[in-house]
Structure 1
């Protein structure tokens, strides 16, 4: 499967919206929007991202839009995030997409956070060179409770 990144197109947003409303994916991600089904909030979120200094890309697998990957935040505190359609989990797409983004954004350190029980995401981050640097607890909108999370860092 060929994985590639490209600039986000307006036509990608409905695909992202559908992907980010998959109940199983939302539960696994845990730290999501308060109401993933709120199109106006979703659209405003992506408009902010696309007009900022964040680096956000559409993830393509064999030409199909399968998710997004981004680096966001203030310099010195920037984090990575990604979302891959559940139908494509377990195929190495998130790892390939994140590696490509990291090659595009040489800034270090970069940070990541994941629910402690999100083994797939933790594996992706570790394969890309991130190392656990802290543990925390945070409120997970998708689970409506405070959960354990892992903080990871990618050094220079």
Structure 2
């Protein structure tokens, strides 16, 4: 069981472990809106270079008891600041996501703050609503992980 959860900036040495997390088939399915090919390391590295260079992106790794167990970020999309996170499946159900979101919300004070989750991802929706996000609607979009159009829930923290 994870005791302490902290955040820190993404370092080059973190990229291998983050890439492996984002290739986990069950996690990819749950996240739904993922890279076209989770096994494409070149695309992953290019994406990470782009977001790490973007001054509007606040990108952090999540540490559980000092070990990288995920990532969390805020970014600007079409004028709205959104958050996203990814948790290593090995620590699902241990409260890591909720604690990481709370830590991010202390550092990212922009409001309103937006989030999205596949509407069937009950765990992620629970994390976000516990953090104070309110569902404000749904949208349908192409989920590369599922190779289908699916519904996502749109949430806002005021």
Same fold per superposition (TM over 0.5): yes
Secondary structure of 2:80's partner?
coil
Deviation per CA, 1:36-72: give whole Å up to 9, x if none.
Answer: 1111110011111111120010100001100000001
Matched, 1:83 2:91: no
Kindly provide the CA deviation profile for residues 74-129 of structure 1, in whole angstroms up to 9, marking residues without a partner as x: 48401100000000001110010111011001011111110010001000101111
User: What are the ranges of 5 or more consecutive residues in structure 2 without an aligned counterpart?
Assistant: none
Q: TM-score, normalised by structure 1?
A: 0.97
Secondary structure of the structure 2 residue equivalent to 1:56: strand
Q: Report the equivalent of 1:55.
A: 58
| Alignment correspondent of 1:121 | 124
Aligned to 2:109: 106
1:153 CA displacement: 0.3
Distance 1:102 1:48 in 2: 23
Asked whether 1:37 is paired with 2:39, we answer yes
What is the CA–CA distance in structure 1 between the aligned matches of 2:17 and 2:129, rounded to whole Å? 27
For the residues of structure 1 that align with 2:21 and 2:87, how far apart are their CA atoms? 8
SS state at 1:135 partner? strand
2:93 partner SS: coil
How many angstroms apart in 2 are the aligned matches of 1:45 and 1:98? 22
Q: TM-score, normalised by structure 2?
A: 0.96
Counterpart Cα distance in 2 of 1:36 and 1:7? 22
Q: Is the 8 A contact 1:136 1:150 kept in 2?
A: yes
Does the CA-based 8 Å contact 1:8-1:57 persist in structure 2?
yes
User: What is the CA RMSD across the aligned residues, in angstroms?
Assistant: 1.0
- Paired residues in the alignment total 155
Structure 1 stretches of 4+ with a deviation exceeding 4 A read: none
- In structure 1, what is the Cα distance between the partners aligned to 2:78 and 2:143? 25
